[in-house]
Copies of this chain bind each other. A is one copy, B any other.
Amino acid sequence: MIGGDAAGMSAASQARRLKGPDELEIVAFERGHFSSFSACGIPYWVGGDVGDRDQLIARTPEEHRARGIDLRMRTEVTEIDVAGGRVRARDVDSGAESWTSYDKLVIGTGARPIRPELPGVDAPGVHGVQTLDDGQALLDTLARTRGRRAVVVGAGYIGVEMAEALINRGYEVTVVNRGREPMSTLDPDMGRMVHEAMQGLGITMVNGAEVTKVLTGDDGRVRAVATEDAEFPADVVVLGIGVRPETALAKAAGLPIGTHGGLLTDLGMRVRGHENIWAGGDCVEVLDLVSGQQRHIPLGTHANKHGQVIGTNAGGGYATFPGVVGTAVSKVCDLEIARTGLREKDALRAGLRFVTVTIESTSRAGYYPGASPMTVKMLAERRTGRLLGVQIVGREGAGKRVDVAAVALTAGMTVERMTALDLGYAPPFSPVWDPVLVAARKAARAVERQA
């Protein structure tokens, strides 16, 4: 196993479940200090919702070893020799290198954060948030910093979650975002709602602005972030610009890489053309079941599923990962944001014609206390009426409603069929027509008119 995080260690654990140490020797290499940690939890640790770093560690190296997995920490694989069936690994601390041969190889090298080539970007006080070490460094900076001004660069999932974390820590937060609206995984009209809601939370939103420079003070620490038009004072800067698949090793070994930079696998997560090499997690591309195209979606829940499938197959069983529909959910304070399937531009790119509808509804029966407004946007294919995508922005109870659409997408359901879905109803849980059903009704009528 190359990589001791979600995909690799899930694969290791599942393979171990199927085959005992007498049948299968498992060696895992991890270059970092931690195994099996929840990167998705870092914003909540930084924000103070999670008190202790160790809560984010699902399983320690010792726990893995107790299960018969030879996990070698601080050991970086530097070369894959596919023809020779071996990998070269280097002890990060001593620099010592050695070759280890394999019958079966699992690649779970993850992703690496995009770090823009900006003057000053390496100044103290500028932080990424991909690893537990990153999180600790940021927390150390927050503890040391006297000022209370934070700039978050990027307004995707990491960006908005870090905005919440810094608000919770008492910072004045400015989000500088290249896109027209935050959350470019939504259509701009829904992004606009996130924009307004974030402003309502006291966050300063700067959209359509490219960071050109990080400015430092006399002490060498960050003091501001500059765009072409303005400067934003900052005592701390968080980079939340996203990640790219970490596939340099695989590429050097001649393994197949897709247009998004991720490894290409078959449905059993086997690297294409290689009988005994699997790959999973943030370093692979996945099939988008709605558009039929490959995508790169770094997300812990996929990595865990990949690991489960790989471990089953490498352990002599049979399992597949059929693909994704592109579901994601996030929150900024009490604002919940969710999406699944295709945005308008994805649908256009996939060659689809479609109708879009947007409806307003509530999380509970209108008369029930705590009913909060929610907006649901739905895309359906013309003529067929097949559901193509759903985006939801609302408050409590909005986010996980996207799961209904995720399952309907997986099943290839039409919006007309969705109108009759038997979803749970009681006044504390839903209006008599669940918001997703209200959207489906409107979409079905739009499909009918356009047919």
List chain A positions with a Cβ less than 8 A from chain B: 6, 38, 40-41, 44, 49-50, 55-56, 157, 161, 299-302, 304-305, 308, 320-322, 324-331, 338, 340, 365-369, 397, 399-404, 406-408, 410-411, 413, 417, 419-430, 432-434, 441
Name 5 interchain pairs, CB-CB below 8 A, sorted by A: A40-B365, A308-B441, A322-B420, A329-B424, A410-B417
- Say yes or no: A367-B50 contact (C-beta < 8 A), given A38-B427, A329-B425: yes
A363 closest partner in B (C-beta): B400
The 10 closest A-B pairs by CB, nearest first: A329-B424, A411-B411, A301-B425, A55-B367, A407-B407, A327-B422, A324-B422, A325-B422, A403-B423, A403-B404
Contact B324 A367 (CB under 8 A): no
Which partner residue on chain B sits nearest A43 by CB separation?
B427
A406 touching B423, Cβ below 8 Å: yes
How far apart sit A422 and B49, CA to CA, in the bound complex (Å)?
26
Other-chain residue from B38, B56, B338, B419 in contact with A305 (beta carbon distance below 8 A): B419
- Nearest neighbor of A164 in chain B, beta-carbon distance: B428
Specify which of A397, A403, A404 lies most central, judged by the most chain B CB atoms within 10 Å of its CB: A403
Contacts of A423 in B (CB 8 A): 301, 327, 403, 406-407
Cβ B365 vs Cβ A426 within 8 A:
no
Whether the Cβ atoms of A427 and B41 lie closer than 8 Å is yes
CA distance A240 to B417 in the complex (A): 34
Query: Are the CB atoms of B41 and A368 closer together than 8 Å?
Result: yes
Give the one of A308, A328, A413, A425 with max B CB within 10 A: A425
Which partner residue on chain B sits nearest A317 by CB separation?
B448
Chain B residues closer than 8 Å to A340, beta-carbon distance: 422, 424
Q: CB-CB < 8 A to A325: which residues of B? A: 422
What residue of chain B has the Cβ atom nearest to residue A325's Cβ?
B422
A424 touches which of B300, B327, B425, B441 (Cβ 8 Å)? B327
Kindly list chain B residues whose C-beta atoms are within 8 Å of the C-beta of A330.
426
CB of A314, distance to nearest CB on chain B (Å): 17
Residues of the B chain whose Cβ atoms lie less than 8 Å from the Cβ of A161: 426
| Assembled-state Cα–Cα distance A74/B301 (Å) | 57
- Among B329, B406, B408, B426, the residue within 8 A (CB) of A329 is B426
